[in-house]
Amino acid sequence: MQEWQILAIFLSQAGKRRIKLDKLPISVQNAPMSHAQQAQIPGSFHFVRAYAKINLTLDVLGKRTDGYHELATVMQTIDLYDTLCLTLTEDRHIEVFCDTPELSTRDNLAARAAERILQHTTYPGGLTIELSKRIPMAAGLGGGSSDAAAVLLALQEWWKIPLSQAEMVALAASLGSDVPFFLTGGLALCEGRGEVVTPLSSPETGFMRWLVLVKPPIGLSTATIFRQLSASDYTDGSYSRAFSASVQAGAGLQKSFLHNSLERGVLERYPEVSRAKADMLHAGAQWVQLSGSGPTLFAPFPELKAAFDVQQRLQAQGHAVYLSHAVHPNSGNVRFY
């Protein structure tokens, strides 16, 4: 069967179950945005996508004196995304409307990113941010950080804000360790506390052309997971270095490069995560790994058919499952299947 035929079956099954398009576990469309529809001034609104990431490697090298941990991690953006609609308003307010009510606050990282950018403009008005959330929260997928980076990039381009790349990175890093990565997205080695980003060229995806993600039914705080980390889980950074060197040499990727220093502790403490991992392996995944500080797990597949079968089995067991693949949004090869 061709890949497009499998996807067609998947979409038609979703239709029979009357799943609304924006509830599909595969990202295919923009949800309508009410403020943008009401905007009277042509050009006063802007739609942007904010992609999720997974950590293909995550080496924790040790604890720093500033309380953060020194990392080497290879991150990859994937085709699972939030949609943001930015609409200009006349009063100097930033408001967030999100379909997840607890995120409709000015503490939302996206709103804080907009506040920072507004400080660099003479624009007298404000902004409404409508956020259609599809990336699960507190999941290890970088959703909040990606939303913030998407706002920074969109407003910089929209208002032609004369910030250099280094200034944008510094601004992004002040919002969170993962935010600088999302300014470029794609595949990158991230070091320091995560903010020192070296983009890597997109490799032949090979064994990880398709990704099945499972989000166990808990949210985990990154700070808590780092606090619980045992020093015996520290590495010397060799997984991330081997991965990056292989990509830079144009060599194939190997499963043996994949690693997450946070995984052992998370599996030990959170039975929902270890159960989900066991279910994924039992459903046919060959390799299952935690993304970031979790609880989301991902499994790579070379073929869509195998990924699709595993996804169906896990969904039938009641898991929250996403079928996805790598995207490289800034090199123009965002592909849709």
Preceding peptide of 302 cis, ω within 30° = no
Active-site option among 59, 147, 178, 279: 178
Q: Copy the structure tokens of residue 328.
A: 């490289």
Instruction: Pick out residues in 7-26 that bind ligand C5P (CB under 6 A).
Output: none
Is position 53 annotated as part of the catalytic site? Answer: yes
> Of 47, 68, 207, 287, which lies in the binding site for ligand C5P, with binding defined by CB under 6 A?
68
71 part of the interface to ligand C5P, by CB under 6 A = yes
Based on CB atoms, which residue is closest to ligand C5P, 172 or 299? 172
Please tell me whether residue 294 adopts helix, strand or coil conformation.
coil
> Of 136, 180, 185, 194, which lies in the binding site for ligand C5P, with binding defined by CB under 6 A?
194
Instruction: Pick out residues in 172-191 that bind ligand C5P (CB under 6 A).
Output: 176-178
The total number of residues shown for the chain amounts to 337
Active-site option among 53, 133, 215, 277: 53
85 alpha carbon, distance to own chain's centre? 18
How far apart (Å, rounded) are the C-alpha atoms in residues 229 and 170? 27
Is position 279 annotated as part of the catalytic site? Answer: no
21 alpha carbon, distance to own chain's centre? 20
- Bridge partners of residue 299, in order along the sequence: 212
> Of 44, 202, 222, 274, which lies in the binding site for ligand C5P, with binding defined by CB under 6 A?
222
Largest CA distance in the chain: 59
53 part of the interface to ligand C5P, by CB under 6 A = no
Q: Is the dihedral of CA 257, 263, 267, 268 positive or negative?
A: positive
Q: Please give the single-letter amino acid code of residue 164.
A: S
Q: Which single residue is written with the structure tokens 């307010």?
A: 93
Q: Nearest approach, Cβ of 224 to ligand C5P (angstroms)?
A: 8
69 part of the interface to ligand C5P, by CB under 6 A = yes
Based on CB atoms, which residue is closest to ligand C5P, 194 or 329? 194
Catalytic residues: 53, 178
Q: Which residues bind ligand C5P (CB under 6 A)?
A: 68-69, 71, 176-178, 193-194, 222-223, 226
